[in-house]
Amino acid sequence: MTDSANPILRQGDTCWQIRRASRMAVVIDAADYFALVHDAVQKARHSVMLIGWDFDTRIPLDRPAEDGEVPNRLGKFLNWIAANRPEVQIHVLRWNLGAINALGRGTTPLVILDWMTNDRIHFKLDAAHPVGSAHHQKIVVIDDTLAFCGGIDITADRWDTREHLDDHPQRVRPTTKRRYGPWHDVSTAVEGEVAQALGELARERWRRATGETLQPPQPQESLWPDNLEPLLCDVDLAISRTAPEYDDREALHEIEALYLSGIAAARRTIYIESQYFASRRIADAIAARLGRPDSPEIVVINPVSAEGWLEEEVMGSSRARLLNLVRQADRHDRFRLYTPVTAGGQPIYVHAKVMVVDDRLLKVGSSNLNNRSLGFDTECDISAEAGPDDVVIQRQILKLRNDLLAEHLGVTQDRLDGALAAADGSLIATIEALRTNGRSLVPFEIPDLNVVEASLFDENELLDPERPSSRWRSLRRGMRSLIPGL
């Protein structure tokens, strides 16, 4: 039962604002997300704001990738909007260091140069962050009426369907057509006052990056996609942020406070999807709960390994150490970390950032369970909390959690619901009853750390810092000659 006297979502603490949404949907995997963005941007009447860690102008949004009357590839599509919707202003804001990756992306630099001479497409790089910090938010705002916020970047190697086939013919890189592996991701679509608040956030990011103040658009009619079923209607949603201290901005740690508050408030279950499990603060909080007799079950879904050798060495070694800490505290056998696999046993990369606490809290956003997401990078998460009498919201929160679990286990919703009922609601017992040798969840086994990994764990303050530090600032002089704008 929800404790109405102690809400998890507290404005000024675990969130920035709590605003009303006429509709809210959770969008699972990028095939649906890209298609929805492609459709929704065409309905814009005043403004489109794209705020991201990365954008790749070459990628097709709908697949198959053939262009119709409306172009499909991101760069050509935005050019078409600018040419055919003269009243619409498009603002694209991208993390400045992430833009270095675009230099070798075929036509991407040419498209960006074209944007920079277009009076309706405004493209800027955001350098308003401490050295080494990343702008990691992934937000699309259309007319302050409809917004998308979550973990999906509009870039290459992200598109996949919920089937996560071993070898999907459309899962290819935009120029080389080289295949990439299955990818799981989650975002949200929101309408109403909360979309307006995300517009405020996006314009503030633009102001800090460029010095230019953008005016909000006039109120518009609904832009909600016809084929998108809401998860929740007429609901209060919270926006939570992470941002490091920079210039006159104080540090923001609302997302860290939200994770910790959710872990403390849980009674029966916590379900988490995250790219990493590398935050000492979160691991300590989980360990503290697991040591108590009233501990909830905690299930974490991670990829089997991080992208890239160095990232895996740092994040993988952190995960191994922290899992040992958590498992030592798990006196009542209520913690599991699983990785999803395809029907053929291929690992599915988990890029989603989701937390579900009991039937009470749903959080989706850009933040991972690592130090950077909780204090060093910029992040944005959306959350809904059910009150003690909000039976509909409680049911829908569990529906979303169970939908994700059914996808990972490769079973129907009915079969998952039956297994949950037979297990008296136990997530761990349900997962263990439904696991197979095909499409399924696999328990993560802690690898032995080699000498390099053990030493990198001791040095991960440099690569996964909790807060801006003098060690990062000391790199500025050496990096300035390599990266303009630092």
Range list for CATH 3.30.870.10 in the chain: 17-235, 255-443
C-alpha pair distances (Å), 366 with each of 66, 73, 89, 314: 30, 24, 25, 20
Distance CA 434, CA 441 (A): 9
Helix residue ranges per DSSP H, 61-107? 74-84
Task: Indicate the SS3 state at residue 207.
Answer: helix
**pLDDT for 385 beyond 90:** yes
Residue 84 pLDDT level (bands cut at 50, 70, 90): very high
Q: What is the pLDDT of residues 147-171, one digit of tens each?
A: 999 999 999 999 999 999 999 999 9
99: its two tokens: 């833009």
Torsion of CA 269, 274, 280, 285, to 10 degrees: -10
CB 109 within 8 A of CB 22: no
341: its two tokens: 């696999």
Helix H or strand E segment including 115: helix 108-116
Residue 463 pLDDT level (bands cut at 50, 70, 90): low
For residues 277 and 486, which has the higher predicted lDDT (pLDDT)?
277
Residue 44 has a pLDDT of 97
Q: What is the pLDDT of residues 195-235, one digit of tens each?
A: 999 999 999 999 999 999 999 998 889 999 999 999 999 99
Residue 65 pLDDT level (bands cut at 50, 70, 90): low
Residue 136 has a pLDDT of 95
CB 37 within 8 A of CB 189: no
355: its two tokens: 């937390």
Distance CA 334, CA 330 (A): 6
Q: What is the pLDDT of residues 232-256, one digit of tens each?
A: 999 999 999 999 999 888 999 999 9
- What's the CATH architecture for 17-235? 2-Layer Sandwich (3.30)
Residue 469 has a pLDDT of 58
Residue indicated by tokens 């850009």: 366
The mean pLDDT of the chain is: 89
Residue 312 pLDDT level (bands cut at 50, 70, 90): low
Residue 458 has a pLDDT of 47
* Average pLDDT rounded to a whole number, residues 73-78: 94
**pLDDT for 117 beyond 70:** no
Q: Which residues of 324-348 are buried (b: 16+ CB within 10 A; e: fewer)?
A: eebeebbeeebbbbbbbbbeeebeb
- CATH placement of domain 255-443: 3.30.870.10
First-residue to last-residue Cα distance in the chain:
50
**pLDDT for 267 beyond 50:** yes
Least confident of 63-67, 115-119, 199-203, 469-473: 469-473
Distance CA 199, CA 46 (A): 12
Cα maximum dimension of the chain: 63
Distance CA 202, CA 214 (A): 10
Residue 331 has a pLDDT of 94
Count of other CB atoms within 10 angstroms of residue 372: 24
Residue 102 has a pLDDT of 53
Distance CA 39, CA 308 (A): 33
For residues 225 and 108, which has the higher predicted lDDT (pLDDT)?
225
Count of other CB atoms within 10 angstroms of residue 202: 25
* Average pLDDT rounded to a whole number, residues 128-137: 92
Distance CA 129, CA 178 (A): 34
482: its two tokens: 């390599």
